[in-house]
Structure 1
Amino acid sequence: MWRDRLVPGEPEIFVAWQEGTADRTLLAIHGGPDWDHSFLRDPLERLDCRLLLPDLRGCGRSGRVPEEEYHPDGLMQDLLRVLDAFDVERADVLGHSYGGMVAQRFAITHPSRVRSLIVSGSSVLPLPPDAFAGWTERDEVLARQEDPWQRQDLTPKERTRAEAFASAPANIWRAEAMPGYLRRLEEVRFGAQWLAPFLAGTLVSPRLPDAAQRIAELDIPVLLLHGRQDMTFPVDLVEPTLELIPRARAVVLEEAGHMAHVDEPDGYLNAVREFLAAG
């Protein structure tokens, strides 16, 4: 059963959490970043470990900060406060999409607090300019996608929400999964706090230089969990990452896109469950 908790501090951090039967804690970090945690609940809620799903600062039901404080370093302090509030010394950390880069940064900067790392629908290596060259189907999907950022009749928050719905065909591969995904989006509390520094060109990426080498030096188990049809982070970066991180393994879900946990929830869940059990 899900419970809610506000972790005090500047800002307050909202955490949806679920007690488990296993003596492990999984900290799951959402992407967007102007989304909330809710789109990640299913299928993770079927795990038997304790789950902590925070809303990042400025997102969902967490507190807001001045524009200059939407920075990865602030996120690191927020995540530390979350673990401390729940008396978690070391957590397994999963990050999806943008959250995948946040999770990597947290593991690198606070290694004593991270037991293992799951990079979901994201990448350790930077994306090359030609990452998707020759993928005609992706080109066609993106060509049909509406651009809400051009709509002056929408508020910034409404544009974030509209962009999430407009990009659904690029994020979901299986047509059968689309209705459920759209229902899931209806429940997300979209925001626009991170949008302002992004548009101003001042938003700092959470990706650290030489991330692969630095993660390899941590000597912790790493899972790269990816959809074969991911149109945001190319699956082609998985293999070279494995070559750089000896303790990394990969699970690629063949009929899944960027939201692999929605396209293939059972395969996604099994991959996470087996990885945690092995670690």
Structure 2
Amino acid sequence: MNTERTPGGRRPLPIRWRDRLLVPPAPRDTAVITGHRARTPERRIVEVPDPVSGRATPIAVWHYATEPRQGAEGPTTPVVMIHGFRGDHHGLALLADCLPEMEFYLPELPGFGHSPAFPDAEHTVAHYATAVAAAVQTLGLVPIPATGRPATAPEAAARPVLLGHSFGSVVASHLAAEQPSRWRELILVNPICEPALSADGTRSERTLARLAQGYYAASAALPESLGMALLSSPVVVWFTGTVMAKTQDRHTLAYLHDQHQRYFSAFDHRRVLVESYRASIRGTVLDVADRLALPVLLVAGAQDELGSVAGQERLARRIREVSPRVRLEVFDGVGHLIHYERAPETAGVMRDFLRTD
């Protein structure tokens, strides 16, 4: 297990008691968090069929082109990253910044960010996986070997890596389980390894899960305007970030709160959020663990409210029954916000894992 450190090994900028209530301004330069300059992605719009009706619907995909560095060695295989519940591509930007030598594609799930909701389909894990698969295929990222034969060496080398964070880990694992041979490796950050009210969770974690269920149930039952106001409440967004944040660095705390306030409510409409929430608490990576027949990296937080260490170890054991290579990395001092609080360390683990053939 690892302890928190800031880029370059410097000590964190201490958090004052007032910073918890009155969050300071976010740093203008995220290099103070990552040790790398921020990258600017290009937005692409691809059309995919609605999983139910087949009607065309657009998906925004953010592309980070490779930034070669002299003397740098490392994988150049593209990585498809799937964000978590209520997120968009911004949530995984720090990981992309920490790996400038790598190419990333970040689709925004229908109903979030710049991707409109499905016109007809319910927002479920299966439908999200279908939509991402279609987007990836449209972009030409996944080679299709001829029917009846294994992939050739060039085809295998061209396969992309698939990464999912939080709810995105459920979508990614279901997508990989359907066709594991189309992906080079699977990386799951803060994987959802057990149901929200699992017995392995602490009493406080189960209480928070029940509060969340009540919150979304109330939001769905209220009139449209009141329900939307509750779902988009800055106070609720602040409370969520405050409960989940474990960082001891002021810059990181300010950044994650700023990101939540800016993008946590960037959803299409109430139905999207209610349906996605139901999907997020019903599905887990464990549901398809015995079908993940590809190398898998799990990156978890020891204090994750949505996945205990025991649950992550159980998940790793299940995957090992079918996977050629599994690695579980657990960071101390962090919970469910590894993508903000431990981006440099996570990037280092990713780079090491992808270099191991």
Classify the TM-score, shorter chain: 0.7 to 0.9
Q: Structure 2 counterpart of 1:44, which letter?
A: A
Please report how far the alpha carbon of residue 214 of structure 1 lies from its aligned counterpart in structure 2 after TM superposition. Answer: 1.6
Which consecutive unaligned segments of at least 5 residues does structure 1 have? Answer: none
**Please, which of 309, 317, 329 is the counterpart of residue 251 of structure 1?**
329
Distance in 2 (CA, whole Å) between partners of 1:229 and 1:93 is 25
Query: Which whole-Å CA distance do the structure 1 matches of 2:186 and 2:332 have between them?
Result: 22
Quick check: 1:85 aligned with 2:159? no
Q: Could you say which residue in structure 2 is the equivalent of 1:273?
A: 351
Distance in 1 of aligned mates of 2:280 and 2:287:
20
**Equivalent residue in structure 2 for 1:70, among 114, 123, 144:** 123
- Report how far residue 142 of structure 1 moved: 8.4
| The one of 19, 35, 42 aligned to 2:65 | 19
Provide the C-alpha distance between the structure 1 equivalents of 2:354 and 2:260, rounded to a whole number of angstroms: 28
1:182 to 249, 254, 257: 257
Q: Aligned residue for 1:108?
A: 177
RMSD: 3.1
Unaligned runs of 5+ in 2: 1-39, 49-55, 69-74, 143-158
Normalising by structure 1, we get a TM-score of 0.83
1:25-174 to 2 correspondences below 5 Å = 25-32=78-85, 34-47=86-99, 48-66=101-119, 68-89=121-142, 90-126=159-195, 129-133=198-202, 154-156=226-228, 159-160=231-232, 162=234, 163-174=236-247
Pair 249,17 (structure 1): closer, same or farther in 2 beyond 3 Å: same
The alignment partner of 1:183 has SS state of helix
Q: Does 1:2 align with 2:80?
A: no
Once the two structures are TM-superposed, the CA of residue 268 in structure 1 deviates from its matched residue by 1.4
Q: Contact conserved, 1:93 with 1:117, CA < 8 A, in 2?
A: yes
Contact 2:164 2:188 in 1 (8 A): yes
Question: Which of 1 and 2 has greater Rg?
Answer: 2
From 279, 291, 299, the counterpart of 1:214: 291
What is the CA-CA distance between 1:4 and the residue it aligns to?
0.5
Paired positions, count? 271
Length-normalised TM-score, structure 2: 0.67
Deviations 1:60-84 (A, max 9, x none): 1112224643223322222122222
Distance 1:92 1:104 in 2: 12
2:29 corresponds in structure 1 to: none
TM-aligned CA deviation for residue 122 of structure 1: 1.7
Q: Does 1:241 align with 2:241?
A: no
Q: Is the CA contact (8 Å cut-off) linking 1:141 and 1:170 kept in structure 2?
A: no
Bigger shift: 185-194 or 46-55?
185-194
Check 1:107–1:139 CA distance in 2 against 1; reply closer, same or farther (3 A cut). Answer: closer
